[in-house]
Chains A and B, each alone.
Chain A
């Protein structure tokens, strides 16, 4: 029950109680105390007249006062609690992206204004913490690149300059591969951290999505061939979206690569691009082991790799779908993941059509 309803009920009950007490007291006074001396004189008609007056008085004063009191109380309550409703709406809109925007304050110094001030101070502190985490990750990934550059350069120098046996060369090359992987993780992390901090601007232009899809289907076919996986383009509506060409290509390649990597030998991949109302729907489905329902909600989490983390044959750093999600959301779209284990796994992307 709302506070407002509860207060209103209490207020009405108290008002009725008080009114009843007043009436009761009045009646008692008229009938018992006032009439006592008259009984000896036998003037009963006067008493009857008095109680009729009393009923008139009650009808024309106490009852209207009560009605006015209830209505007025309801109005006051509504007025007093309206800022709470506004505050609730404003607080509901807070997320990690707009923490730095303070809630609007009335500035009149009342309890609610102080509550808002407290909220603003709290979100301010949270914003500061988030920012420090982002800066830390950004600095960490930047600082990691210098030793990585040195390691890579020195290993490469060793690989090509020093007289090394085939075994030593193989070992050096394998170390370079690992450095490469580390560099990719650092790159992905830098990208996502900068995206979180709102530091990446998309270069938006009209982009023919169907052309990009055909291109990524061609790439997927090549990537899938060594695994005997068949790639099909079921539908490809001619559609234009407003977006960053490079990022959209990165998104498509990311999803295509996943569809190949998490497939089974001899499996299938289906692409479809359909115009649906004011938006365009891209679906990429693949056969393969898929993901248990209890893990599906976590696929967009950073470094989440499902069972792949135990399967070293599947390359990747666990940031691909997080990056895909960022790209889709930066284009004001939505991305979904659905998987029926051992049947089909589908990633659906919905983007608004260009105006």
Chain B
């Protein structure tokens, strides 16, 4: 996968590049909006990480111009402002995802990877990870012959983790997808729910499937 990172802050651009490269992406970095637009229109990228505040031309304008020219390259917007209106504005302008700064690097990587998978989500009604199964119709999970009843929220959390099995899920992503909050609730809600879920699906079983990635979020082992 070839990704264009448009970020004028050199240090930020550098660790985004490092993180993406270590995950096997080919990365091009660009520090100006106008240059980024030219690059995106002439080269075919699998995804673009686009900062909003840029010299030359701001990110939203680059994005609008790109879409106006019929370019459908998936775009992940980055913004230091991180306010709801900006997120809505960005998605309206044609962005595929939005991440407020300061972001969790692993979360950025996970979201860039997800850009390439848009629309390819599994439609399966029974999800599997190792010996754990989740029936998305009856909302019941099963492991080692034991059946667990899940509350609505626990079900949505487990479903999300299982659909992203093997990939790190950042807290911010979980809050967005499972709680549908577009703000950071500033509580340890996610952690407490994960702990409860773990008591159900991992206690008394080996291997432990639901693992914590310190400072980032959680991952469900495949």
Question: For B105, what are the chain A residues with a Cβ–Cβ distance below 8 Å?
Answer: 152-153, 156-157
Question: For B11, what are the chain A residues with a Cβ–Cβ distance below 8 Å?
Answer: 150, 153-154
Whether, in the assembled complex, B72 has its beta carbon less than 8 Å from a beta carbon of chain A, the answer is: no
Whether, in the assembled complex, B85 has its beta carbon less than 8 Å from a beta carbon of chain A, the answer is: yes
Rounded to whole Å, the gap between the CB of A170 and the closest CB of chain B is: 8
Indicate which residue in A159, A161, A320 contacts B214 across the interface (CB closer than 8 Å): A159
Indicate which residue in A153, A190, A223 contacts B81 across the interface (CB closer than 8 Å): A190
Task: Encode A280-294 as 1/0 by CB contact (under 8 A) with B.
Answer: 000000000000000
Q: Quick check: B181 and A223 within 8 Å, CB to CB?
A: no
Instruction: Given the known inter-chain contacts A157-B18, A183-B102, A219-B189, please indicate yes or no for A146 contacting B215, CB distance below 8 A.
Output: no
Whether, in the assembled complex, A176 has its beta carbon less than 8 Å from a beta carbon of chain B, the answer is: yes
| CA gap between A44 and B105 in the complex, in Å | 121
Whether, in the assembled complex, A29 has its beta carbon less than 8 Å from a beta carbon of chain B, the answer is: no
| CA gap between A184 and B187 in the complex, in Å | 11
How many residues of A are counted as interface, with CB atoms below 8 angstroms from the partner's CB atoms? 48
Q: Quick check: A249 and B181 within 8 Å, CB to CB?
A: yes
| CA gap between A177 and B16 in the complex, in Å | 20
Instruction: Given the known inter-chain contacts A159-B215, A253-B185, please indicate yes or no for A191 contacting B16, CB distance below 8 A.
Output: no
Q: Taking each of A149, A201, A225, A226, which has the highest tally of chain B beta carbons within 10 Å of its own beta carbon?
A: A149
Q: Quick check: B186 and A320 within 8 Å, CB to CB?
A: yes
| CA gap between A190 and B16 in the complex, in Å | 25
In the complex, which residues 32-55 of chain B have their Cβ closer than 8 Å to any Cβ of chain A? none
Question: For A257, what are the chain B residues with a Cβ–Cβ distance below 8 Å?
Answer: 185-187
Whether, in the assembled complex, B19 has its beta carbon less than 8 Å from a beta carbon of chain A, the answer is: yes
Q: Which chain B residue has the least Cβ–Cβ distance from A253?
A: B185
Task: State the 6 A-B residue pairs at the shortest beta-carbon distance, nearest first.
Answer: A176-B215, A149-B102, A145-B80, A153-B15, A148-B102, A156-B105
Give the A-binding residues of B (Cβ under 8 A).
9, 11-12, 15-16, 18-19, 22, 80-85, 101-106, 151, 153, 181-189, 192-193, 195-196, 214-216
Pairs across A and B, CB under 8 Å, 30 listed: A142-B80, A145-B82, A146-B80, A148-B101, A149-B9, A149-B101, A151-B102, A152-B104, A153-B15, A153-B102, A157-B18, A161-B18, A161-B22, A173-B214, A173-B215, A176-B215, A187-B82, A190-B81, A190-B83, A194-B83, A201-B85, A222-B153, A222-B189, A222-B196, A223-B189, A246-B181, A249-B181, A250-B183, A250-B185, A253-B189
